[in-house]
């Protein structure tokens, strides 16, 4: 289906050790509006799409979201890999460390583990694409807020890239919605 290149879609540069920032960014690793939720949502919804073009868009974006999940995991790992226990103590990352060490684990910034209820496949193409557009906007907003709190220039650069991809995905889903309306609204002659 695809060829895996052993490199990230976007180069990740992390300039600091910052467990507190890692805990906030992990929201996009395992939160309701994060990359894992989006990837699974789109790859699940693709089967009920009535056009090959819509299926292709969901497959492409779903696969890209999994690449973004890899990027977020890399950012989180690099923010904590060199952190001493003393640097972790007293930070929001401390509870994560007690349960998972420094390994990224899919949960949100508050520590709530990833749940399947974070994504949906309704089986109605119009409803699903509207949900997808909303998901992209929520992810874009989360990236905005993460950019606002990031004090690491390399991390901020990566977050800006990911924010822009959310905007692009929203636009592609908007185009797909138009294609679906054309397909579902056209008269059929048998």
| Average pLDDT over every residue of 16-37 | 97
- Asked if residue 80 belongs to a domain, the reply is yes
What distance in Å separates the CA atoms of residue 76 and residue 102, rounded to the nearest whole number? 9
Query: What pLDDT score was predicted for residue 185?
Result: 86
Exposure of 151 in the CB half-sphere (CA atoms within 13 A): 6
- Asked if residue 37 belongs to a domain, the reply is yes
- Asked if residue 136 belongs to a domain, the reply is yes
- Asked if residue 13 belongs to a domain, the reply is no
Query: What pLDDT score was predicted for residue 189?
Result: 65
Query: What pLDDT score was predicted for residue 188?
Result: 65
| Average pLDDT over every residue of 136-146 | 98
Domain assignment of residue 169, given as a range:
19-103+125-185
The count of structural domains within the chain is 1
Query: What pLDDT score was predicted for residue 1?
Result: 61
Number of neighbours of residue 189 by Cβ within 10 angstroms = 4
Asked if 108 and 54 touch (Cβ cutoff 8 Å), the reply is: no
- Asked if residue 114 belongs to a domain, the reply is no
Residue 166's nearest CA partner among 7, 37, 19 is 37
- In this predicted structure, the answer to whether residue 115 has a pLDDT above a threshold of 90 is yes
Query: What pLDDT score was predicted for residue 6?
Result: 83
Q: pLDDT averaged over the chain?
A: 95
pLDDT tier, 4 (very low <50, low <70, confident <90, very high otherwise): confident
Q: Which residues pair with 110 in a beta bridge?
A: none
Q: What is the CATH number of the domain that holds 152?
A: 1.20.1260.10
Query: What pLDDT score was predicted for residue 3?
Result: 76
- In this predicted structure, the answer to whether residue 190 has a pLDDT above a threshold of 80 is no
Number of neighbours of residue 82 by Cβ within 10 angstroms = 11
Question: Residue 107 has what DSSP assignment?
Answer: B
State the burial class of residue 87 (Cβ atoms within 10 Å of its Cβ: 0-12, 13-18, 19+): middle
- Asked if residue 111 belongs to a domain, the reply is no
- Asked if residue 31 belongs to a domain, the reply is yes
Query: What pLDDT score was predicted for residue 119?
Result: 86
Query: What pLDDT score was predicted for residue 120?
Result: 87
- Asked if residue 180 belongs to a domain, the reply is yes
């Amino acid at each position: 289906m695809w060829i895996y290149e052993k490199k990230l879609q976007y180069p990740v540069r992390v300039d600091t050790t910052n467990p507190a920032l890692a805990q906030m960014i992990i929201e996009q690793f395992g939160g309701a509006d994060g990359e894992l939720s989006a990837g699974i949502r789109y790859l699940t919804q693709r089967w009920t799409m009535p056009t090959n073009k819509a299926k292709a868009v969901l497959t492409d974006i779903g696969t890209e979201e999994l690449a973004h999940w890899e990027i977020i995991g890399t950012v989180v790992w690099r923010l904590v890999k060199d952190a001493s226990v003393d640097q972790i103590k007293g930070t929001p990352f401390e509870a994560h460390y007690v349960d998972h060490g420094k390994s990224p684990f899919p949960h949100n910034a508050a520590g709530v583990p990833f749940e399947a209820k974070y994504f949906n496949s309704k089986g109605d193409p119009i409803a699903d694409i509207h949900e997808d557009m909303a998901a992209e906007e929520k992810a874009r907003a989360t990236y905005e807020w993460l950019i606002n709190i990031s004090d690491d220039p390399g991390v901020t650069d990566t977050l800006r890239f990911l924010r822009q991809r959310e905007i692009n995905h929203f636009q592609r889903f908007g185009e797909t919605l138009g294609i679906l309306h054309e397909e579902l609204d056209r008269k059929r002659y048998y």
